[in-house]
Structure 1
Amino acid sequence: MTIRTLLSSASALAATALLTSGALAQTLDYTAMSELFGEPVTAGATGAPQRSSDVPATMIIITQDDIARTPEYDIPGVLRHHAGLNVNRYAFGDGQVSIRGAATGYTPRLLVLVNGRDVYLDSYGYTAWSTLPVQLDEIQQIEVVKGPQSALYGFNAVAGVINIITRNPQQGDYANVRVNAGGSEYSDVALTAGYALGERFAVRASYGTTESNEFTPVDGNSYAELLALGDGNFQRETGALEVRMGLTDKVTLSAEATFSDVEQSEMGSIYYAGRSHYELESYKGELEADTDYGFITLTAYQNQSEIRYAFGPLSSELTTLRAQNLFKLGSNDTVRLSVEYRDGEAQSFPDPTSGDFGYESFAVSGMWSHKFSNSLDLTLAGRFDSVEWSRDGSPNPALYAFSQADYDQSIEEFSYNAALVWRPEFGGSVRAMASRGIQAPTMFDYGFAMYFDIAPGFGIALMGNPAIEPSIVDNLELAYDRTLSNGIEFRGAVFFQTTEDVKGAFGSGFDILPPNAPAPTILFDNRGDTEIYGGEVSLSGDFRENFDWDLNYTYQSADDDLAVFSVETSLNFEEATPEHLINAHLGWSDGPLSLNGYVNYVSGTQMPGQYDFGITELRDIPAAWGVSFQAGYDVNEHLGVRINAQNVSYGDGEMVNTHHQNEARYWLSLVGRY
């Protein structure tokens, strides 16, 4: 059964002609299929290609055109204009993203992928967005799947998944050059290209380099101010090379290598300002085969990380092996079966003399989608993960409260997703969804240890906890999408989500005291529960031929039950989650000219901040309106000019967090297309 049978609707029969021929038959042609159906097409919700209106999840697909017209210089900036996404920019390069909840420093609940490869930093449990080896110009589409997706993607996909898909050179040659230059010594050069060399061979390559002065520190944040006195500028260099080769008409082999070298200021998970230097590499190989037994994918990749944080170096490595088969049973049932092995290793951090530690995990998962009729679909997915932690070497007895044997821990957890999609006679799609996600301990949660001298002969230890438990996230959701009679697209959803055993942050008191520990010790641990509920609505349309618009609103309310914490906690989702998010866009185009305006509103919060280490306080963060513009002119089909004005309403500085003030930025873009 081939990939061509996976779209089980009458219109899908026409779509098979748009799948590229020969050796590339198994590769989705997103552009052609989206044009055919009049809406984006994705494989991100189930692994099987579907129209966006049919997916069993609340999902956003951000297209090439959406990205090109936004006055933004990175992916978090692009994401902030969409419903259900909370983006907080703590520094020029440190934009943290959350789906339905507070965008805290080192946000740990969102899984981010580039072409299916995890770019989530397994060592510390977050995504350093500026390190992604992707240029905006080479992105085909960004898929945002909301709600827990652990059954489909594994641990830590508990708020959702963002999958960034790059352009496929097998579906058209391209070469782009973009140069940005603006105030605050901002410069950005990006080179992207993709070429098919014959019928069976294609190459994609990209390179980018960025520099900029940092934003102004928030008044009173002594650590951020100290960083600004040194060489606190943002610097980024990334590159990627991918080769795709058709071995036969139905088998494709691909290989990819990437690197990132980034220095930036950023906000840590305990709201402590620091500066980090990232040196990351990745290597990936993938074999895709369209067989009589299904569409089989074999994937292997390795992520290598060398990170110098403000408080020490961290060296880690993640190796992942995955096998997947996607096939049809009759005309109404689609099945996906998968097995995955992961091996994560890290040096003892930040003292490398206490033995390496890490984990091995094995997971099996399955997805079944059944079509009861043209109006009713059911999708069920489940995954079982087994994780074995260990430490190779004895921890320093003068520091650690735990022995080597204490690090021999096992985790076994089951996650699921269930969705019913109903297309009623009165129009649109109704989705009823339930899911259970698993947020696993990170290497930092588990094995980190640091000692601080407080006074002569007296100190305290901050330490990970080998007995820490995963956090369990349960989600219920109801959504409705519809094209109204006047052509306006409506999307709405309501949700309720609970998190048990919230983990990862230090408490406000000592967890272990001598003689049970060499020094008074504060642990990473499970600290209680939290819940969030809310809703979102989006409208979009066009008028008078040349105008298009979109408007979205998100309401979210968090309620914490973190009983062991005082007001000094660095975990405070209840106060740090903005209740109201509003985004609006109006665009106009006429031939070579285009104008786009954006408005973003984030309601006020109270956010923790550490202005002196160990002392956390809540500060009022006022509501903020951000207004941005882009004006574009295409000189010809090869050359374009863009004037970008970002957050002009912020002026010289707007306090949107306790780290750095955000400020207006202006830059000119020259875009070459060949």
Structure 2
Amino acid sequence: MKSAIFLSALAAFWTANSQAAPPSIEDLGLEDLVKTDITSVSRKSQSLADVAAAAFVISSEDIRRSGAQALPDVLRMAPGIEVAQIDSGRYAVSARGFNGRFANKLLVLVDGRSIYHPLFSGVMWELDPAPLDDIERIEIIRGAGAVMWGANAVNGVINIITRHSRSQAGGAINVGAGTQGAGNVYARLGRADQSGSSWKLSAQGRHKEPSKQYANRQDSDDRLSNAVVDFRFDRDLNAGRDLSVWANASLSTLDDLWMINPQFRTVTIPGLGPTAVFAGITPIRLRQTTESQSLVGRYRWLSDSGVESSVQLSANRSSIDIDHVIKEERTTFDVDYQSRYSFAAHDLLWGFSHRSSSDDITVPGTATDYLGIDRTAYTQRNSGIFLHDDWTLLPETLKLGLGIRWDHASRNGSYISPNATLLWTPSRSDSIWFKYAEAPRTMARAEQDISVFSSVNVTNSGGLSIPTFIFALPGSRAGLRAERTQGVEIGYRKQFSPALSGDISLYRYRYTDLRGGSLGSLYSCSPAFPGYVAGACPAALQGKAAYYATSQVANELAGWSNGAELSIDWLATPDWRLQLSYSWSQLDMNEYSNTAQQNMARFQEKSTPRHYGSLRSQWNIDTRQQLDLWLRTSGGFERYNAPYTTSIRVPGYVTIDLRYAYRFDRNLEVALIGRNLIGARRFEYISDYISSVATELAPSLMLTTRWAF
């Protein structure tokens, strides 16, 4: 399969018609930097200069020229977004800190439909939500966005907007093959007619061979294979009405090594006799299979009275199956309605949303020593209504935005989320904005119903290694509250010239009721040690020289998050574009007299890089050739080295990606891409809640070809 992909790419390269007419400079993607529109901030189309928020737009051309093959890698170019690759397919992605495998304070949408997973309130990035070639743009809003988008839009919103099917008429085939067994195939076919109807059907497959374990350079077990099929139909119904229908199916398999298998050896101890003592933890090889099927429909219309409205309905079936550990099957229904009406100096927007998500979770008997569930089936419901008004105080100069949202969640009850913005545009090239916002993060299914082996603390006593195995238990259903945030932002956006723009934003947010873990019971697993209670330890630890402890999820932590973000976009010459982004962040947690709470708070402060930067260069050498360079850097941070309770520092890094592309004609392009070219090897992430091994990132090459017909 890999050889066939590689040969196909070479064949396309050598058989292309090199005498075809070259494209114009404009076709190569260096566009006017002034006319960027964004829709996700206020659920309406606005110029970026009129947005009172820290916003960033990644265009389809930016995606193509980045050379990235996975969506999280594309997001690295945005300020305020932290991306850490875990292995071949898994990523940790967050906005403004609090990153992790199950980061839960960033809401991700595809065409306005939330794709966060209620099991852990995060996103499974290994399951491609949409092929990169089908994406029109990615809109990224940092900061709380709960009024418009509801719970979990705490630190930011990412809206992946796919291309209208009319722009995808015809066909396309893209093939890529590279080192480390990487291979990609994308195919698309579409049609548009004069009646206003258009459709497209696309399919994508990705594969990657296992990477190396960082600790010992041995092969890891993170082989990735996934596929996605995407269909879209659009119909212009005239008179301000249109209809869109999406259908999407994806499948992903990704192997992993979990450090959850404790090893014991029998030794004879004076006074105790033959005793099973701790000899370390070895990995278990597991396979994760994830599936998702979605059907979405959206209808938009304009009434005779001038009210713009839309309603979007979606249904999704998904499953997660981790061999011999857990299997979840889920059905989710979403309804989202909004209307907009402008009168006098007011631009009024209102709407409601509802989500119902039902799951069925099973844990096989062989996994109960390190995973358990209280309720195997549950339906989680979230409903909300919102109202927002943009009030023009001074035409083209001063605008006040006021919004409020009421939500009710089956887990957390009801809560209110307000926001207020003030946008001052003293000139056509200057925008100064201020924002106050609040947002909740509702509890995930796992936080109230699932217990899991989290870590082991090893101490030495009399020459023996005595482990304490810690299991994280779910929080109290009656006492666990939603996490809350409230804070302020101030920003300045400047259009220095038609070719140079920039913006800077400062923020300070207060977080309360953050999750922590309260130490619970402690038991000895051997009658020879104090604290022994028959049957208290899991079967795998019974009779061993070990202790068993529990911790319970609780609202224990609070703190402040402060930061600054900078973005500059410069068309240095008609053929050369530079794009810079930089983020600085700092988390200051409360001081606690309780030692366990204080340790958690201090560790939380250290778990986010202070600095994160990106510098991209896009150069059109001539009408056929492009050379793109991407310099990326991140500061170091600390994480727990799960399953052990010791921490380890993830070093900062500086690396470069390069892309050279040659266009034979308007429809055929071949590119050579090099990623992570500085530094022989590194790791970007240490596992937190799931004890998987750390894998290395090494330099890689890929050859791609794109053919449109």
Determine the C-alpha separation between the residues in 1 that align with 2:319 and 2:580: 41
Whichever residue aligns with residue 240 of structure 1, its letter is D
Q: CA deviation at 1:195?
A: 2.5
| Equivalent position SS for 1:616 | coil
- Decide which of 413, 417, 428 is 2:419's aligned counterpart: 417
Gaps of 5+ in 1: 1-30, 390-409
CA spacing shift, 1:568–1:264, aligned 2, 3 Å: farther
Q: Is the 8 A contact 1:560 1:572 kept in 2?
A: no
How many residues are aligned here? 604
Deviations 1:24-74 (A, max 9, x none): xxxxxxx9xx98994211221101211011012110011111111112111
- Decide which of 386, 390, 394 is 1:365's aligned counterpart: 386
CA spacing shift, 1:165–1:194, aligned 2, 3 Å: farther
- Decide which of 572, 596, 618 is 1:587's aligned counterpart: 618
Determine the C-alpha separation between the residues in 2 that align with 1:661 and 1:459: 28
Q: CA deviation at 1:133?
A: 3.1
Give the 5 Å matches for 1:363-402.
363-372=384-393, 373-389=395-411
| Equivalent position SS for 1:663 | coil
**Aligned residue number for residue 604 of structure 1:** 636
CA spacing shift, 1:643–1:199, aligned 2, 3 Å: same
| Equivalent position SS for 1:162 | strand
Whichever residue aligns with residue 616 of structure 1, its letter is T
Determine the C-alpha separation between the residues in 1 that align with 2:573 and 2:353: 51
Deviations 1:615-647 (A, max 9, x none): 322101222001110001101111000110001
Determine the C-alpha separation between the residues in 1 that align with 2:177 and 2:663: 18
Determine the C-alpha separation between the residues in 2 that align with 1:566 and 1:275: 35
Give the 5 Å matches for 1:150-549.
150-171=146-167, 173-219=169-215, 228=219, 232-264=222-254, 276-293=288-305, 294-309=307-322, 311-330=325-344, 332-348=345-361, 350=363, 354-372=375-393, 373-389=395-411, 410-425=412-427, 427-449=429-451, 462-465=472-475, 466=477, 467-484=479-496, 487-503=499-515, 506-507=517-518, 509-510=520-521, 521-549=550-578
| Equivalent position SS for 2:44 | coil
**Aligned residue number for residue 641 of structure 1:** 670
Whichever residue aligns with residue 180 of structure 1, its letter is G
Determine the C-alpha separation between the residues in 2 that align with 1:661 and 1:509: 36
Determine the C-alpha separation between the residues in 1 that align with 2:53 and 2:181: 42
Identity %: 19
Determine the C-alpha separation between the residues in 2 that align with 1:568 and 1:347: 36
Whichever residue aligns with residue 385 of structure 1, its letter is D
Determine the C-alpha separation between the residues in 2 that align with 1:433 and 1:90: 34
- Decide which of 671, 684, 688 is 1:656's aligned counterpart: 684
Whichever residue aligns with residue 543 of structure 1, its letter is A
1:552 aligns with 2:587: no
CA spacing shift, 1:433–1:66, aligned 2, 3 Å: same
Q: CA deviation at 1:132?
A: 2.8
Deviations 1:459-505 (A, max 9, x none): 986432223110001121110010225842121011111211112x6
Deviations 1:258-293 (A, max 9, x none): 11111225799x9x9975321111121222112124
Whichever residue aligns with residue 378 of structure 1, its letter is L
- Greater shift in the superposed pair: 416-425 or 139-148: 416-425
| Equivalent position SS for 2:410 | strand
Whichever residue aligns with residue 289 of structure 1, its letter is W
Q: Is the 8 A contact 2:233 2:246 kept in 1?
A: yes
Determine the C-alpha separation between the residues in 1 that align with 2:36 and 2:698: 34
Determine the C-alpha separation between the residues in 2 that align with 1:191 and 1:530: 48
Deviations 1:348-383 (A, max 9, x none): 453689442222232111111112221111112211
1:671 aligns with 2:706: yes
| Equivalent position SS for 1:424 | strand
| Equivalent position SS for 2:606 | helix
Give the 5 Å matches for 1:28-39.
38-39=34-35
CA spacing shift, 1:110–1:511, aligned 2, 3 Å: farther
Determine the C-alpha separation between the residues in 1 that align with 2:326 and 2:517: 18
Determine the C-alpha separation between the residues in 1 that align with 2:429 and 2:375: 62
| Equivalent position SS for 1:347 | strand
CA spacing shift, 1:510–1:478, aligned 2, 3 Å: farther
Whichever residue aligns with residue 71 of structure 2, its letter is I
Gaps of 5+ in 2: 1-26, 261-282, 364-371, 457-467, 524-530, 538-548, 687-693
- Decide which of 642, 645, 650 is 1:621's aligned counterpart: 650
| Equivalent position SS for 1:69 | helix
Determine the C-alpha separation between the residues in 1 that align with 2:376 and 2:498: 65
| Equivalent position SS for 1:80 | helix
**Aligned residue number for residue 609 of structure 2:** 578
Whichever residue aligns with residue 495 of structure 1, its letter is Y
TM-score of the superposed pair, with normalisation by structure 2: 0.79
Whichever residue aligns with residue 250 of structure 1, its letter is G
Q: Is the 8 A contact 2:650 2:684 kept in 1?
A: yes
Deviations 1:584-618 (A, max 9, x none): 122210201100111111111112221x3xx3221
Larger Rg: 2
Determine the C-alpha separation between the residues in 1 that align with 2:196 and 2:664: 35
Q: Is the 8 A contact 2:165 2:232 kept in 1?
A: no
Determine the C-alpha separation between the residues in 1 that align with 2:337 and 2:130: 25
CA spacing shift, 1:305–1:482, aligned 2, 3 Å: same
CA spacing shift, 1:119–1:325, aligned 2, 3 Å: same
**Aligned residue number for residue 8 of structure 1:** none
Determine the C-alpha separation between the residues in 1 that align with 2:158 and 2:470: 39
Determine the C-alpha separation between the residues in 1 that align with 2:574 and 2:483: 50
| Equivalent position SS for 1:635 | strand
Q: CA deviation at 1:202?
A: 1.6
CA spacing shift, 1:451–1:43, aligned 2, 3 Å: closer
Q: Is the 8 A contact 1:105 1:267 kept in 2?
A: no
Q: Is the 8 A contact 1:569 1:616 kept in 2?
A: no
Whichever residue aligns with residue 666 of structure 1, its letter is L
CA spacing shift, 1:345–1:628, aligned 2, 3 Å: same
Determine the C-alpha separation between the residues in 2 that align with 1:275 and 1:578: 31
CA spacing shift, 1:307–1:172, aligned 2, 3 Å: closer
Deviations 1:498-522 (A, max 9, x none): 211112x65555499999x987653
Q: CA RMSD in A?
A: 3.2
Whichever residue aligns with residue 380 of structure 1, its letter is L
Determine the C-alpha separation between the residues in 1 that align with 2:355 and 2:205: 32
Q: Is the 8 A contact 2:220 2:695 kept in 1?
A: no
TM-score of the superposed pair, with normalisation by structure 1: 0.83
